[in-house]
Amino acid sequence: MGTIAVGTAQLPVWGIVAVWAYIVYMFLSTARAEERRRREQGQPHTKLDTALLLLTALCVVGAILCAILLKPLNVLVKSRAGFAAMILFLAAAFALAQSDSSLLAAQLNAPEAHGMRLGLSQPNHSRRRQATPQLTQNGPFQLLHKFQNSPDGAGPNGALIFDSKGNLYGTTAQGGSGICGTPPYDSYGCGTIFELSPNGSGAWTETILYSFQGGSDGQYPQAGLIFDQAGNLYGATQFGGSQGVGTIFELSPEGSGGWTKTILYSFGASSADGAQPSGGLIFDSNGFLFGTTTSGGSKSCHGGTNNCGTVFELYSNGHGSWFEDVLYNFGTSASDGFSPNGALIFDHNGNEHLYGTTAYGGAYGQCDWQSVPGCGTAFEVNPIGSLWEESILHNFQGGTDGQNPQAGLTFDQSGNLYGTTLLGGTGNGTNCLGNGNPGCGTVFELSPIGSGGWTKSVLYNFQGANDGYGPYSAVVFDSKGNLYGTTGAEQPYNTCTSTVFEMIPSGSGGWTTATIYCFPGAQNAAPPNGFGAGGVILDQSSNLYGTTGSGGTGSCIVGCGVAYELLATPPDFSVTPGLYSRATATPGQTAQFTVTVAPLGGFSQTVTLSCTGAPTMSTCSVSPSSVKLTGPPVTVDVAVATTAPSAGLTYPAGSGPDNKFALWLTFAGLPSLLLFGGGGGASRVRRTQLILVLSLLCVLGLAMTWSGCGGGSGSSGASGTPLGTYTLTVTGTYSSGSTNLEHSAKLTLVVQ
């Protein structure tokens, strides 16, 4: 490429070009810093910026072409073309120093040695992903079993039941060794009956007592089981049997440790018979079985035929045979209810008066959920002579009154009835189920009045947030008169997919409602602790036991369900990560997280929250910084504000603010080129021209440096938040007297 003579020295042209290239690098670095400063301050991209950027590109290209074509560098001074190349280069550098350079800066943000990824992020918004929360066994919650699907069970929907030895029994609607349905659903099985036994070390062992085989054997048991005094189990399948519309079965223990299953009755023996029993069974004092069928019967509803449902009785002849009597056919009148889904209960005084609910029908037809008319009813069926008659205790009206009860009723010691509605109430229906936003469900009470009627009160309106929504199981009482239940609406991506709630009566006649467990949601995965909670039962220590129809693990679409225990605990609270437990941000952005604070055991105090573990040059804040827990869990926001490097002159690798080498090159690089090009024999006129050009170069270089350094403050700019992965800790504390409670949740911040 040749050399250039300076006095007696010969300087290589490549060296001169290297100095020039370094100066171009300096200008581009300055432009990048200015671009970041403008983005942080929200300065808009203007047409002038675009024009300067285009001018910059043209000037740089022109200067490079001139440098390549004009090999003897002293031609730069002696020719007009050379002088034009210098002016073009200086104009390009000055334009870069002044321009926003958004497009060029975007390319300069491509991956570098430190791993920055391609492209610019929008200011003040973190690149967070919806991650599966990092969950642990949340305080008193313990998983007893995760159903795995065939040959194990799948989809336990009914309540559990204890035997005298503390073993738990229940059913799964699917799973087992039987084959039901057509591909791809034939892999889910026909249902099972299972036993869970404590092994003494705190764990539980599951045993499949029976796998339904479908067809005449029955399939899809939806409800729980009951024991007789001899230790035999009884239940119902919703389908299968000789007519395909359900069975009543008995499971009897054998001396060898096995169990024998017997079908006591197959529904559908006549067109007026009941069909599809989905609720549980109950015994009377004579050993007769009572229950409901969701469909069948002699009446027709909603455009169908023989489909309103029944109340039935099964009795034995003492010789192993069982017979059915249909006690009541729903749909007897236009205002009657139909489709009873829950179990029946007897009068709390021991009278053979049966109480229950229907999901649809009644005197009010405006609910129209799932295009089925009527809001549902609460009813009583009484024996009058040899016949049974129905009395409507309450016609649900929808709206704030509640609608579509799916579960049975529960008596308290005073003869009041308690239950739940799947929908209705004052909750925000947009977060819940149904068409027309019909609310998130309620807990209600029916109280008898002297005239023989009943008065209904709504005790709690679910809001569809962290308190859950869509309760479709019955409530239960503990020995203190506290009420427990679950919400089961299956939304696996919510913060709380399902909940277990407690209602404590207050002296003034009101109730305090608290969520004592929130089943955590998950993104793109089965919620690990289950979702779609069924009913709960209590042991003698007031510990709660229940199942979820989905979640956990197993080969089902969103998990095959779990069985769990919720230990009774003193008042406490939990702090767990929300759906956003991991966030990624570039320096200058704010990373956002969520954390859920939930009361346990009736805790109703104020929890103070703090955040630690944030990297240097960043701040972590919790909003709100304290929460009053009065019932449902509370979601709080956690924000980590990082700091971007401030605009300043970028030094080459290995140098820093104390190394002035870069500034020397900036001021001396281009003047040196001209001095090299002048040679030793220039005339007085030529030397005068050189001095003028040198002065111009120095002035322009000073202007560019002043602009790039943000007004000549002399600072090299702050380095900003360091890159890396950090673990944040959000801690909740409560202190009062000798009580000191503290719980925390871990979050992950990635700065890149």
pLDDT in tens, 221-275: 999 999 999 999 999 999 999 999 999 999 999 988 899 999 999 999 999 999 9
Residues 6+ apart with CB under 8 A from 447: 416, 417, 454, 455, 456, 457
Is 50 exceeded by the pLDDT of residue 656?
Answer: no
User: Omega of the bond prior to 671 within 30 degrees of 0, cis?
Assistant: no
Is 70 exceeded by the pLDDT of residue 216?
Answer: yes
17: helix, strand or coil: helix
Percentage above 70 pLDDT, the chain: 68
Between residues 517 and 674, the one the model is more confident about: 517
Q: What is the pLDDT of residue 18?
A: 59
Strands (E), 147-253: 153-154, 161-162, 168-172, 174-175, 192-198, 204-211, 226-227, 233-237, 247-253
Could you tell me where in the chain the CATH 2.60.40.2310 domains are found?
578-644+724-751
Between residues 107 and 530, the one the model is more confident about: 530
Q: Are the beta carbons of 26 and 14 closer than 8 angstroms?
A: no
Q: What tokens were used for 535?
A: 């009913």
Is 80 exceeded by the pLDDT of residue 550?
Answer: yes
The letter for the amino acid at 378 is A
Q: What is the pLDDT of residue 196?
A: 97
> Residue 295 CB: number of other CB atoms within 10 A?
25
CA distances from residue 381 to 126, 185, 207, 292, 378 in whole angstroms, order as listed:
61, 39, 38, 12, 10
Is 90 exceeded by the pLDDT of residue 430?
Answer: no
Is 90 exceeded by the pLDDT of residue 683?
Answer: no
Could you tell me where in the chain the CATH 2.120.10 domains are found?
141-158+267-275+285-572
pLDDT class of 134 with cuts at 50, 70, 90: very low
Q: Considering the chain, what is the average pLDDT of its residues?
A: 78
Q: Are the beta carbons of 378 and 363 closer than 8 angstroms?
A: no
Q: Please give the Cα distance from 258 to 194 (Å, whole number).
A: 12
Residues 6+ apart with CB under 8 A from 469: 427, 431, 432, 433, 440, 441, 462, 463, 487, 489
Q: What is the pLDDT of residue 427?
A: 86
Is 60 exceeded by the pLDDT of residue 593?
Answer: yes
Task: Output the CATH code of domain 578-644+724-751.
Answer: 2.60.40.2310
Predicted TM-score (pTM) of the model is 0.65
Q: What is the pLDDT of residue 408?
A: 96
Residues 6+ apart with CB under 8 A from 577: 133, 134, 135, 593, 594, 595, 596, 745, 746, 747
Q: Please give the Cα distance from 599 to 630 (Å, whole number).
A: 8
Q: What tokens were used for 187?
A: 């892999």
pLDDT class of 55 with cuts at 50, 70, 90: low
Q: What tokens were used for 263?
A: 């079908």
Is 70 exceeded by the pLDDT of residue 663?
Answer: no
- CATH architecture of the domain with range 141-158+267-275+285-572: 6 Propeller (2.120)
Closest by Cα among 12, 26, 130, 124 to 71: 12
CA distances from residue 398 to 467, 475, 489 in whole angstroms, order as listed:
20, 20, 18
The length of the chain is: 752
Say which range, 387-396, 406-415, 493-502, 668-677, has the weakest mean pLDDT.
Answer: 668-677
Closest by Cα among 600, 606, 612 to 746: 612
Between residues 73 and 171, the one the model is more confident about: 171
Q: What is the pLDDT of residue 57?
A: 58
Between residues 564 and 104, the one the model is more confident about: 564
Q: What is the pLDDT of residue 70?
A: 47
As a whole number, mean pLDDT of residues 29-34 equals 58
Q: Which residues of 725-750 are buried (b: 16+ CB within 10 A; e: fewer)?
A: ebebebbbbbeeeeeebebbbebbbb
Is 80 exceeded by the pLDDT of residue 719?
Answer: no
- Vertex 331, ends 326 and 332: CA angle to 5°? 75
Closest by Cα among 445, 213, 236 to 340: 236
Is 60 exceeded by the pLDDT of residue 114?
Answer: no
Is 60 exceeded by the pLDDT of residue 122?
Answer: no
Q: What is the pLDDT of residue 668?
A: 42
Q: What is the pLDDT of residue 617?
A: 92
As a whole number, mean pLDDT of residues 215-219 equals 95
pLDDT digits (tens, 9 = 90+) for 432-476: 765 556 788 999 999 999 778 999 999 999 988 778 888 989 999
Task: Report the DSSP pairing between strands 626-628 and 233-237.
Answer: unpaired
Q: What is the pLDDT of residue 280?
A: 95
Is 50 exceeded by the pLDDT of residue 713?
Answer: no
Is 90 exceeded by the pLDDT of residue 307?
Answer: yes
Residues 6+ apart with CB under 8 A from 599: 514, 515, 516, 571, 572, 573, 629, 631, 633
Q: What tokens were used for 697?
A: 């170069």
pLDDT class of 99 with cuts at 50, 70, 90: very low
188: helix, strand or coil: helix
The letter for the amino acid at 60 is V
Q: Please give the Cα distance from 743 to 572 (Å, whole number).
A: 10
pLDDT digits (tens, 9 = 90+) for 324-377: 999 999 999 989 999 999 999 999 787 889 999 999 999 987 786 667 889 999
Between residues 79 and 517, the one the model is more confident about: 517
Q: What is the pLDDT of residue 38?
A: 53
Closest by Cα among 499, 497, 546 to 526: 497
661-678 and 13-41 helices, crossing angle to 10°: 140
